[in-house]
Amino acid sequence: MADKIAANNEKKQKVLSLIQPSGTPTLGNYLGALKNWKDIAEQYDCAFGVADLHSITVRQEPAKLREQVRNMYALLLAINLDPEKNIIFIQSQVPTHAQLAWILNCYTQFGEMSRMTQFKDKSKTHTDNINVGLFAYPALMAADILLYQANFVPVGADQKQHLEITRDIAERFNGLYGPTFVVPEPLIMETGGKIMSLQEPTKKMSKSDSNPKSFISMLDKPDMVMRKFKSAVTDSDAKVEFKKGKDGVNNLMGIYSCCTGKTYDEITAEFEGKGYGDFKVAVAESVIEELRPVQESFEKIIKERAYLEDCMKNGAEIATKISQRTLDKVMKKIGFYQFKG
């Protein structure tokens, strides 16, 4: 991935990504996205956001949503994203997102939106609330990305289709009105891009899973992390190797590899002749060590309410200023009325 960015690095490339504040993020969010954000934040022009407008496509309890947004913002600072060097904002505090989303809705076809697998999945799990926002969600996500003229979007594999539709919308608009948007590329980690459920390893690890044993939350305490890994589903082979059909073990190997930097061959060699029990303990310990500094930092930052709010305000102000430039350009091209004076 670093090569991909370096190849395009004549001038500083822009990177953008957001995360929904619907519950505490999981180890999947962390290894698939956040850890990656932290790694690239030092070198690129980055904007990161808390996607609260996206979260209301599913019903949220107001007080809880407010708390989750604050926690998510604090977690972004806790993973060491520097608010002085990166734009870190809350989506609902930057009005350009909803404005451009409306416009992009009008450049997106019903048919292409209907093909989005996330919409199909979510409409199955929220049968009582299949709202228009849930359907139009990808146009808002496209607005998030295109407003900042992002070259790269670091996400997990589940967001690939949304990135494809974003590219299609950008190319369509550019084709109609001339160069307006940078056409972004997804950055998906080969290992970590899709962390699976610990209980049903053919399903992605998700914070909205009804079985809490299936996911590790980024704020789970060490003993909880250990317990969840000990009860992770594996198989009856008792051999630690990465192989088709060994979904549970493959997933644990991916997690261990992300946290230790070891290759699959090195992991297989390390656990040669040992059972899954030892392996699971080692995976849990690597995750505990990975999350420890984040958790410690989170505990401090979450108490500094005034500092947090300063960062939020500042982030929203800069994000609004930057994104307004793209919105102005779009509005002018479309033919919205412009004052002469």
Choosing from 5, 23, 29, 316, the residue that interacts with ligand TYM (CB under 6 A) is: 29
User: Is 329 among the catalytic positions?
Assistant: no
Range in contact with ligand TYM (rule: CB under 6 A) among 56-64, 126-134, 189-197, 264-272: 189-197
| Residue 41 interacting with ligand TYM (CB under 6 A) | no
The amino acid present at 74, given as its one-letter code, is A
- At its nearest, how many Å lie between ligand TYM and the CB of residue 20? 3
- The stretch among 11-19, 77-85, 253-261, 288-296 that binds ligand TYM (CB under 6 A) is 11-19
Q: Which residue is nearest to ligand TYM (CB)?
A: 32
- How far is it, in rounded angstroms, from Cα 29 to Cα 207? 9
Rounded to an integer, what distance in angstroms lies between the CA atom of residue 31 and that of residue 156? 9
Contact 338, 332 (CB under 8 A): yes
Tell me which DSSP letter residue 231 carries: T
Site membership for ligand TYM, residue 143 (CB under 6 A)? no
Q: Which of 23, 156, 254, 315 binds ligand TYM (CB under 6 A)?
A: 156
Residue of 143, 147, 148, 146 whose CA lies nearest to 46 = 148
Radius of gyration of the chain (CA): 21
Ramachandran assignment for 278, one of left (phi > 0), alpha (psi -120 to 50 degrees), beta (any other): alpha
Distance CA 247, CA 197 (A): 10
Among 77, 153, 232, 288, binds ligand TYM (CB under 6 A): 153
Per-residue DSSP letter, 244: T
Q: Interface with ligand TYM includes 17 (CB under 6 A)?
A: yes
Q: Tell me if residue 207 is catalytic.
A: yes
Q: What are phi and psi of 45, to 5 degrees?
A: -80, 105
Nearer to ligand TYM, 216 or 312 (CB): 216
Pick the closer one to ligand TYM by CB: 51 or 240: 51
The only residue of 144, 209, 247, 290 in contact with ligand TYM, by rule CB under 6 A: 144
244 assigned to active site:
no
Establish if 18 lies at the interface with ligand TYM (CB under 6 A).
yes
Catalytic residue among 14, 204, 228, 246: 204
* Nearest CA-CA partner of 167 in 187, 146, 147: 146
Our CB check for ligand TYM shows the closer of 81 and 271 to be 81
Q: How many CA atoms lie within 13 A of 148 on its CB side?
A: 30
For residue 76, state whether it binds ligand TYM (rule: CB under 6 A): no
Closest approach, Cβ 192 to ligand TYM, in A, equals 6
- 70 near ligand TYM (CB under 6 A): no
Q: With CA atoms as reference, report the closest residue to 22 among 99, 125, 146, 95.
A: 125
Structure tokens at 299: 């505990």
184 contacts ligand TYM (rule: CB under 6 A): no
Closest CA relative to residue 71, chosen from 337, 341, 312: 312
Site stretch for ligand TYM (CB under 6 A), options 70-78, 141-149, 173-181, 253-261 = 141-149
Cα separation values, 40 from 5, 8, 37, 45, 86, Å: 10, 14, 5, 9, 11
Catalytic sites, residue numbers: 122, 204, 207
- List of residues contacting ligand TYM (CB under 6 A): 17-20, 28-29, 32-33, 51, 54, 141, 144-145, 153, 155-156, 158-159, 193-195, 204-205
